[in-house]
Chains A and B, each alone.
Chain A
Amino acid sequence: MTLDLETILNLICLTIASVSLVGSSTDNNDDDEELVKRCAGGDREAFNDLVLKYQKKVFSVAYRFVGDPEEANDLAQEIFTAAYQNLKSFRGDSKFSTWLFQIATNRGKNRFKYLKRRGFFTNKGSSETDDEGDQSHRALPDQTANPEELLSGNQIRKAVIEAINELEPDHREIVILRDIEGLSYDEIARILDLPEGTTKSRLHRARMVVKEKLKKVLS
């Protein structure tokens, strides 16, 4: 399978556009301050509003750490419970969303390590696609596949899930935040309390690991 440089560069432009869209939409959460204050003062409605605002993102992050809807639900609830119980110690040094994502990634990483040690992810990627049975044969990339076809295939989804399940926790965490959830480098650096340069180089290493696995499985 070959691709010309122009196709690749077009793909790049598309990605840059989508990443910057997501990035800008997560950058404007200072309006949580009022809700957070009310919530710390015991206003449960304010807390519910914060949950409704962030439940999708938090659930999604949780799901990417554990790869299972039930575990993700339990983990997401644990994250919000921890936020509720610790809101009084939230000093407002960072945005509420940054603080919440710190809780989410810490808890997510711990749960991932815990489940991994128990073999929870063994064959997880393949079992997720078992329902679709023989369809996976049709999704196998062939020599003429273009990137769009390749990317829409079931095979690649399965391979990606298997690849991220095998990542070490720090790599998995950063791939989730950047490439799956689309947070900005600035936000990720603050969540993980890392210099932005370290954030980028760690992400690069994580992507290279996933890339090698995809290449091995799909080419």
Chain B
Amino acid sequence: MMDCERIADYFGAVYEGDSDTQTEKMVKDHLKSCAACREDFKWYGVTIQALANLEQVAPPNDFLKQLNARIDKNPSLFQSIISQIKNLMNSIPTAPVPVGAMSLAFVTVCAFLVYNYPPELSQIGKSGLSLNSTSQNGAITVEPASRPVDPRMVASAPFSSQTAPFSHAYVPYDGPGRSSAVSWRFPTVADEIGADNLTVESPQIDLALKTLKEILPDIQGKLVDEKFRNAFGEALVAVIIPSSRYGDLTSALVNHGAIEVGAKSRESDSPAPAKVDSRNVRLYIRFTQAPK
């Protein structure tokens, strides 16, 4: 006779009539003779029934009207930045961030989306702003970044040299439970060129990259460079896209299975996208492996 620990593994199959007759007979025989498993199986059924019995909810009558109004507002850039901030905050494993910090972060990101220093002025740490949220009261200070210049960041740029390989805004998060000490990790391709505007965490990097390449023509964007570092299971690409299509890009990545699109692992120093001209921005996108 099957033992009690294994019997539960078959509950789902037996409950849904999805097991072969031999297994079904074994499970039923066990249930007949074992009160504990019988009780457990009863609760398994109660659980499924209770879930199925949850009340139905309907959308409001004017759902379509509301939706069309929302689409017509053409909020793609604005809303995508809001959702980027939400994603960014979401990916930081600490306590809630004050709304004020989010708003100010939003303003800061916006400011750097529309404002650009010429590359030759881009001495990191002087031209940037940092945003700090303190743990005690959620107060926010905006001050010139005092982050030391990482020599790797101003050294060689493996990407096209007429493009500034790093941009100018840093939004470090210094909230509760997060020490200001820099934690050690493997240097990444992004470290070496000092940039990754966006991190895409996906269980299938290949698929995420393919999705990116497929949608670029649709949004009038282009791939500028591409680097792999297989030992760390990541890829880094540089793209130039119209700033208004930023939301489309991130949405498409999320819709094609990326788990997180935000500043997942470099939240303490993720720069804003650099402006190329009046219409286009350059983005460095890092693809990291998510657990399958």
What is A's interface to B at a CB cutoff of 8 Å? 3, 5, 8, 11-12, 15-16, 18-19, 44, 48, 51-52, 55-56, 59-60, 63-64, 69, 72-73, 76-77, 80-82, 84-86, 88-89, 91, 99, 102-103, 106-107, 110, 113-114, 117-119, 147, 150-152, 156-157, 159-161, 164, 175, 179-180, 182, 193, 200, 203-204, 207-208, 210-211, 214-215, 219
Most-contacted residue by chain A among B38, B46, B76, B251 (CB, 10 A): B46
Query: Is there an interface contact between A16 and B96, defined as CB atoms closer than 8 Å?
Result: no
Given A77-B67, A88-B218, A208-B8, are A15 and B45 neighbors across the interface (CB < 8 Å)?
Answer: yes
Query: Is there an interface contact between B17 and A175, defined as CB atoms closer than 8 Å?
Result: no
Given A85-B76, A107-B254, A211-B43, are A77 and B66 neighbors across the interface (CB < 8 Å)?
Answer: yes
Query: Is there an interface contact between B67 and A51, defined as CB atoms closer than 8 Å?
Result: yes
Interface residues of B in 1-40 (CB under 8 A from A): 8-9, 11-17, 28, 31-32, 38, 40
Which residue of chain A lies nearest to B31 when distances are taken between CB atoms in the complex?
A5
Which residue of chain B lies nearest to A7 when distances are taken between CB atoms in the complex?
B42
Given A5-B38, A82-B251, are A117 and B90 neighbors across the interface (CB < 8 Å)?
Answer: yes
In the assembled complex, the Cα of A123 lies from the Cα of B8 at a distance in Å of 30
Of B12, B42, B51, B211, which contacts A8 at CB under 8 A? B42
Query: Is there an interface contact between B57 and A59, defined as CB atoms closer than 8 Å?
Result: yes
Query: Is there an interface contact between A210 and B70, defined as CB atoms closer than 8 Å?
Result: no
Of B28, B41, B50, B247, which contacts A151 at CB under 8 A? B50
Is B179 positioned at the interface, with any CB of A under 8 Å from its CB? no
**Residues on the B chain within 8 Å of A48, using CB:** 64, 68
Q: Could you give 23 example pairs across A and B, Cβ below 8 Å?
A: A8-B42, A12-B17, A15-B52, A16-B16, A16-B17, A51-B63, A51-B64, A52-B64, A64-B54, A77-B66, A81-B71, A84-B71, A85-B248, A88-B218, A106-B254, A110-B90, A118-B96, A160-B51, A193-B257, A207-B48, A208-B44, A211-B43, A214-B47
- Nearest chain B CB to A120 CB, angstrom units: 10
In addition to A119-B96, A182-B52, 19 A-B residue pairs with Cβ atoms within 8 Å of each other are A8-B38, A15-B16, A15-B48, A56-B59, A59-B58, A60-B56, A81-B79, A82-B254, A103-B255, A110-B90, A147-B45, A151-B53, A157-B55, A179-B52, A180-B54, A204-B9, A204-B11, A207-B48, A211-B40
Given A86-B255, A160-B54, A210-B47, are A117 and B63 neighbors across the interface (CB < 8 Å)?
Answer: no
Of A3, A72, A85, A157, which contacts B251 at CB under 8 A? A85
**Residues on the A chain within 8 Å of B58, using CB:** 56, 59
Query: Is there an interface contact between B45 and A11, defined as CB atoms closer than 8 Å?
Result: yes
In the assembled complex, the Cα of A183 lies from the Cα of B248 at a distance in Å of 28
Is B214 positioned at the interface, with any CB of A under 8 Å from its CB? yes
Which residue of chain A lies nearest to B64 when distances are taken between CB atoms in the complex?
A51
**Residues on the B chain within 8 Å of A151, using CB:** 46, 49-50, 53
In the assembled complex, the Cα of A12 lies from the Cα of B60 at a distance in Å of 34
In the assembled complex, the Cα of A214 lies from the Cα of B43 at a distance in Å of 8
- Nearest chain A CB to B251 CB, angstrom units: 5
In the assembled complex, the Cα of A150 lies from the Cα of B49 at a distance in Å of 10
Query: Is there an interface contact between B12 and A117, defined as CB atoms closer than 8 Å?
Result: no
- Nearest chain B CB to A107 CB, angstrom units: 7
Is B147 positioned at the interface, with any CB of A under 8 Å from its CB? no
Is B252 positioned at the interface, with any CB of A under 8 Å from its CB? yes
Given A51-B67, A180-B54, are A8 and B48 neighbors across the interface (CB < 8 Å)?
Answer: no
Query: Is there an interface contact between B57 and A63, defined as CB atoms closer than 8 Å?
Result: yes
Is B223 positioned at the interface, with any CB of A under 8 Å from its CB? no
Given A15-B45, A151-B46, are A89 and B252 neighbors across the interface (CB < 8 Å)?
Answer: yes
**Residues on the B chain within 8 Å of A150, using CB:** 46
Most-contacted residue by chain A among B67, B215, B247 (CB, 10 A): B67
Of B11, B52, B60, B254, which contacts A110 at CB under 8 A? B254
Which residue of chain A lies nearest to B53 when distances are taken between CB atoms in the complex?
A151
Query: Is there an interface contact between B90 and A114, defined as CB atoms closer than 8 Å?
Result: yes
Query: Is there an interface contact between A86 and B67, defined as CB atoms closer than 8 Å?
Result: no
**Residues on the B chain within 8 Å of A55, using CB:** 59, 63-64
In the assembled complex, the Cα of A88 lies from the Cα of B55 at a distance in Å of 35
Q: Which 3 residue pairs are nearest across A and B when measured between Cβ atoms? A: A59-B59, A179-B51, A211-B47
